Structures are given as structure tokens and as C-alpha cells.
Amino acid sequence: MKKLGIVLAALLWASLACAQQLPSGLTNQEFAVTATGAGTTAATTATLPAAGGKFTYICGFSITSTATAGLASTATVATVAGGNTLTFGQSVGTSPAVASTLENFSPCIPASAVSTGITVTSAAAGTAGVTNVSVWGYQFSPQN
């Protein structure tokens, strides 16, 4: 019974963590978008693309990385509302361990303008590094 309670609590937490609050006034013109990037020793990026006449929103990202020497640095999310660049602490695991950075935004965060993409850039992993970046969100046409 105790295990069932733990499983139910974990499922509830996961559903709340993944729930996204969409902006009001959306029509059926919204489209899910994802992007990934893989790299080695340098910074790695993944970009939610711009789409003509549509707003792009970022709902979250994940970065996993490992290298021969672990380090702590900064990941960025560029071109969001107000023209801001958001920064997040990111660790790189010492091989074979992999460090993960996961951010979910609720509500999702819009790009700085219509027809603008959003880029997530990892820290450089370093010697013998491996990095994977995934980003997810959606696009929609603003109502007139």
C-alpha cells in the first residue's frame, strides 16, 4: 500500500510539472515545436524556429552533458519577452556520470516578437565532452 501511495504521488507530481498554462485567446492555430542539438567539447545549441506571423513560446528545455572533468557554468535561453536572455546554472558531469539540467516554464515564455525563434545554448562540456540539448514549446498566430 505504501508503494502505491509513492507511485501515485510521483504521477501527480509529474503531471503538475509537465502541465503548461497556455495564454488565453489561443485558437486552433497553435502548433507544437521541438528542437534538439548534440555536440562535443564546445557549447551546443537547439533553436525553436521562427515562423512568419507566429509567436514562438518556450515551455522547457533539457541539457545533459559529461566530460573528463566536471564543471559548473551557465546555460542561456535567448530572445525571450523583452529581448532578454535568461541564464541558468548548468553542471557537466565527470565521465561516465552525466549531469542534467531541466527547466519547465509555466506559463510558457514568449519570444521577444512575432516571427522570432528562441535559442537554448549549453555551456561548453570540455575535453572528451558530450552534450545533448532538447527544447520544446509551441507557436501560434496572434488573433487580430
- DSSP readout, 117-143? -EEEEPPP--TT-EEEEEEEEEEEPPP
pLDDT digits (tens, 9 = 90+) for 14-41: 333 344 455 554 455 678 999 999 999 9
Mean pLDDT of the region 113-134:
96
Q: State the distance between the two ends of the chain, measured CA to CA, in whole angstroms.
A: 54
Across the chain, what does the average pLDDT equal?
83
CATH number of the domain that residue 108 is part of:
2.60.120
The pLDDT, as a whole number, for residue 6 is 33
pLDDT in the model for residue 117? 97
- Confirm if 117 and 79 have CB atoms less than 8 A apart: yes
The owner of cell 503531471 is 15
What is residue 22's DSSP assignment? Answer: P
Check whether 129 has a pLDDT greater than 50. yes
Q: Which domain holds residue 124?
A: 2-140
Assigned C-alpha cell, 80? 525571450
* Residue found by looking up cell 552533458 in the block: 65
Q: How many other CB atoms sit within 10 Å of the CB of residue 36?
A: 13
Distance CA 109, CA 67 (A): 31
Does the pLDDT of residue 144 top 50, yes or no?
yes
Number of structural domains the chain divides into? 1
Radius of gyration of the chain (CA): 17
Give the pLDDT band of residue 73 (cuts 50, 70, 90). very high
**Does the N-terminal peptide bond of residue 23 adopt cis geometry, omega within 30 degrees of 0?**
no
Task: Say if CB 118 and CB 40 are below 8 A apart.
Answer: no
Q: Do 50 and 116 meet the contact criterion of CB atoms below 8 Å apart?
A: yes
